[in-house]
Amino acid sequence: MSFRATPPRTTRRTLRGAPSGPRPTAGGGPRTAGSPGAPDAPGGSGPHAAPRTPNTPPAGRRGKEGAWGWLFVSPMVLVLGLFLVLPILMALWVSLLDWNGQSNPFSGQAKFVGLDNYRALLTEDGLDRTLFATSLRNNAYYVLLTVPLQTVLALTLALIVNQRLLRGRSALRTAFFFPSVTSSVAVATVFLFLFQGSGAVNTLLSWMGVHGPNWFADSRGVLSLLLGALGIVDPDHPTGLLADHSFMGLSWYEWLSGPSIAMCTIILLAVWTTSGTFMLIFLAALQDIPRELEEAAALEGVNRRQLLRHVTLPALRPVLFLVLTLGLIATWQVFDQVYVMGQGAPGNTTLTPAFLSYASAFDDADFGQGAAIAFILLALILCITALQRWALRERGARPRRNR
């Protein structure tokens, strides 16, 4: 067998019948790398290709698209402006008036007082500032206890019902979510019967040898009772630094006495009724985590605790921020449970800014002060949300810019 040798192919093809030497230019000489129309040589300064421009529509088309876009969103913009922005601006104007609700606040019949309503709540000594400070203290303890408890409980329930080998997952999800779709007024009424002096809760405690308190009539603070049991302070007659200094009309001891026993029952009610909704949010996020991450972690030999800390929780960071934000907004605006279960009693220990705004406007006919309380509460919610967003931000190294 003989092999026929073939000449090696060249990468450059020449036209049939064309000379093999360099092509002459119009001037008679060979083309160089710098001459027009010549290919670039290594290190040469040949012409570069013109950059491609994106196929952008003309300015007239962009203007028409913007007009059509505003036309399609205009119904929703009108609805939001009519039922959201305009009432907020009207309420802001009312907060600057001394208005009893019997006249038109925009006709000049109401007295314009400027920032007097805000001064009475924040800086001037009096009953208004004391009540507002009391409501802030009560609501602050309500937020500090309700938001972490409902978040942890919701995440725990979501992890339980997300197990693939668990039987009756659908029934458990329905049972956990059922309190969230029940009327809050109905649930509050049931809690009133459960936590009465002779209710079911105290009956169960008596079987264990514990004498339960009269839940909705006990205004004692939980922290003050704990400090009194430890012998640090006297809850009935506090003295010293905590009793001698005050802020916004309340002594430091009153600020640090903790939520009352009556407020603790409302906290239990809020945790029980809101955990189901947040459980569904966490459950949707857990089902969206790729199984490859869990399988890779299992191959590395991590246990469930390490998997939760290093895989699950980092993947749930955006959802965790959403749940905490919704929880903060809802807890600072709590109203219906307070209205049904005590209306501030006993001793204003269940009073909240939302209920105080309602009571000032509709019970005391001072709509200017009620609107001022609402706007202070709005500013407080915005500040806390911004602080929470800063605390939960992504802490990664910023990439350096190439100069």
Alpha helices in 233-366 (DSSP H): 241-244, 252-256, 261-287, 291-299, 304-307, 313-315, 317-332, 336-341, 353-358
Residue 246: predicted pLDDT: 86
Residue 233: predicted pLDDT: 80
Residue 167: predicted pLDDT: 83
pLDDT along the chain (403 residues), means of 10: 46 43 47 47 50 58 79 91 92 94 86 94 92 95 96 94 84 90 90 88 91 87 87 78 84 90 94 93 91 81 84 90 93 93 90 95 94 95 91 65 52
Could you tell me which of 222, 225, 202 has the C-alpha nearest to residue 212? 202
pTM summary value: 0.79
Who's near 149: CB < 8 A, 6+ residues apart? 267, 271
Rounded Cα distance, 280 and 93, in Å = 40
Which 8-state DSSP code applies to residue 98? E
Structure tokens that stand for 214 in this block: 């009269």
Rounded Cα distance, 279 and 160, in Å = 10
Q: Do 142 and 258 form a contact (C-beta atoms < 8 A)?
A: no
Strand pairing category for 97-98 and 250-251: unpaired
Name the amino acid, one letter, at 244.
Answer: D
Residue 35: predicted pLDDT: 47
Q: What are phi and psi of 62, to 5 degrees?
A: -60, -40
Per DSSP, the three-state class of 30 is strand
Residue 20: predicted pLDDT: 46
Residue 196: predicted pLDDT: 87
DSSP assignment string, 365-393: --HHHHHHHHHHHHHHHHHHHHHHHHHTS
Alpha helices in 211-260 (DSSP H): 222-229, 241-244, 252-256
Residue 142: predicted pLDDT: 96
- The span from the first CA to the last CA of the chain, in angstroms, equals 64
Residue 396: predicted pLDDT: 60
Q: Do 266 and 259 form a contact (C-beta atoms < 8 A)?
A: no
Could you tell me which of 188, 197, 235 has the C-alpha nearest to residue 216? 197
Radius of gyration of the chain measured on its C-alpha atoms: 35
Per DSSP, the three-state class of 125 is coil
Residue 48: predicted pLDDT: 52
Could you tell me the domains of the chain?
130-221+258-391 (1.10.3720.10), 224-257 (no CATH)
**Cα 151 from chain centroid?**
12
Residue 398: predicted pLDDT: 53
Residue 55: predicted pLDDT: 60
